[in-house]
Structure 1
Amino acid sequence: MLDLFTRPGPCPCCEPAALSRREVFAGLGALACTALMPGSAKAVALPPVRRLRVTRVPTEDSFDGIYFQNGKYNREALHKLDWVFRDLSAAEVTPMDPRLFDVLSAVAERLDTDESFQISSGYRTPEHNASTARRARVVSTVSLHMSGMAADFRLPGRDGRGVARTAAQMQMGGVGYYREGFVHLDCGPPRRW
């Protein structure tokens, strides 16, 4: 469930940062919208040990390991994941929201796959996102990619539509499917396109 009173700070393993008044109201609005959605988010039980397997296209940077155990996120693993999900166009790394990794891990578990997610887009700087939005109308100008909360990927050997359908049924965040076979997942409110 979305925690409205904390947000990812420089390190999600450390003390949570306090939210501004505007962020609290925005979070409450998102929660209210989610509660009104038919079949609103059902809790997905996350395992006590969470692992993830991702490869970044085209750099081939990868992560294959445990990022959460003993009740906390592994700081070193999160730093490695931040590197894999960095904005390649700006060569900029940002702390990703670890809930995104939870969504990816849960989807992999539900699909019963140990294939590596082939990540095409993770974090995007606002400048990179604006440039991409000008070229492709499917890119949001307020994309969660800019907050480190979203990823676009392919899963080898899996139909993208089937992956998106499974993820949408889990109601853990936003799910998009693009004609090119890419799937978008984020850890925002459940919605689909």
Structure 2
Amino acid sequence: MDCSCCTRRGLVRGALGLGLACTGIAVAPAQVLGGAPRSLAIQRVQTGESFEGAYWRDGRYDREALQQLDWLLRDPSMEEATPMDPRLFDVLAVIARQMEATEGYQVISGYRAPETNAARARESRRVSRASLHMSGMAADVRLVGRESLGMARLAAEMQLGGVGLYRRDGFVHLDCGPIRRW
């Protein structure tokens, strides 16, 4: 399923409450997610570990759930975690909801220690030396059962942060930093 918000039905749904997603206007995740509990299902590709549950409820982030997500998105090569920016989880939750995903995310890369990022940048021009992965603000993901192109298009249209499509590798970079795409 590609960008369902940009179909006629999606536009009608948008007019009923999710409309800013297709207008080219930046959307705050809270506008889409509202006050209901915010949940994610994530599996870490390298370790097989997973998280499924609410990370935000009763008007605030759940500290214990955030700690579990921080560890899940750690740099597995260094066994080093950092506090992830919870806005990243909001971006992931919005995209999953808008794509009507029934399966969870697969995380290819979350937090990267500076040493890991530097090593990857030496190996590939596609890795930024100032990557938001080092700040806990980015993740490279697949959404099971959804096309990466459709996910990238939707995220770019919603203008929630940075979006990079890595079509050959089958994943999308999502972050909660400045709005940009590649």
Pick the TM interval, shorter chain.
0.7 to 0.9
1:118 to 81, 102, 106: 106
- Structure 2: state its 5+ residue gaps: 1-23
Structure 1 range deviating more: 155-164 or 75-84 = 155-164
1:45 to 29, 32, 35: 32
Q: Does 1:173 align with 2:161?
A: yes
Q: RCO higher in 1 or 2 (8 Å CA, sep ≥ 6)?
A: 2
Quote the Cα distance in structure 2 between the aligned partners of 1:91 and 1:117.
21
Kept after mapping to 2: 8 A contact 1:153/1:184: yes
| 1:189 aligned partner | 178
Kept after mapping to 1: 8 A contact 2:84/2:136: yes
- Structure 1: state its 5+ residue gaps: 1-38
Quote the Cα distance in structure 2 between the aligned partners of 1:130 and 1:58.
19
| 1:83 aligned partner | 71
Kept after mapping to 2: 8 A contact 1:171/1:190: yes
Q: Measure how far apart 1:112 and its partner are.
A: 0.6
Q: Does 1:138 align with 2:123?
A: no
1:163 to 141, 151, 154: 151
CA RMSD in angstroms, aligned pairs only: 1.4
2:170 match: secondary structure: coil
| 1:19 aligned partner | none
Amino acid in the other structure paired with 1:46: L
TM-score (norm 2): 0.82
Percentage of pairs with the same residue: 59
Q: Deviation above 6 Å: which 4+ runs of structure 1?
A: none
More helix by share: 2
Q: How many residues align?
A: 156
Kept after mapping to 2: 8 A contact 1:53/1:114: no
Kept after mapping to 1: 8 A contact 2:38/2:54: yes
**What per-residue deviation string (whole Å, max 9, x for no partner) do you get for residues 123-145 of structure 1?**
00011000000101100000000
Kept after mapping to 1: 8 A contact 2:162/2:175: yes
